[in-house]
Amino acid sequence: MPFRAADISYVWTQEGWLYLAVIYDLHSRRVIGWAVNNRMKRDLAIRALKMAVAQRQPPRSCIFHRDRSRDYQNVLREHGLKASPLLHVNMHCQATDERQG
């Protein structure tokens, strides 16, 4: 069963903070979607997710781990994807996300 994970990071640039949301495939260890903005906007993770779905067209059984927001869950549901069954982020899952980044 395919697994995808997401993370948001930020980088200081000469023009200020740059926020980067990425979606990566845990099997291939490749970034498959991303979005950037100079502000932490609510839709940053959603834009990265939509890019990943458009480019890779994941199978309906694919599980995404990370964001539990209602908007994010709606996008997953629209494409027949599943949210991670975790009710909270535990240390093991967080370590997986950080190791990929």
Range(s) of the domain holding residue 73: 3-100
Cβ contacts of 13-16, under 8 Å, gap ≥ 24 = none
Q: Which amino acid is at 47?
A: R
**Strand ordering across the sheet containing 3-13:** 30-37, 16-25, 3-13, 63-65, 82-83
Q: What is the pTM assigned to this prediction?
A: 0.68
Look up the CATH number of the domain holding residue 48: 3.30.420.10
Alpha carbon dihedral 59, 91, 47, 12, in 10-degree steps, equals -140
Do residues 23 and 5 lie in contact, with contact meaning Cβ atoms separated by under 8 Å?
yes
| Contacts of residue 38, Cβ cutoff 8 Å, sequence gap at least 6 | 15, 16, 17, 18, 19
pLDDT tens string 5-45: 778 889 999 999 999 989 888 888 889 899 999 988 878 88
Do residues 86 and 65 lie in contact, with contact meaning Cβ atoms separated by under 8 Å?
yes
**Into how many domains does the chain fold?**
1
Of the pLDDT bands very low, low, confident and very high (cuts 50, 70, 90), residue 86 is: low
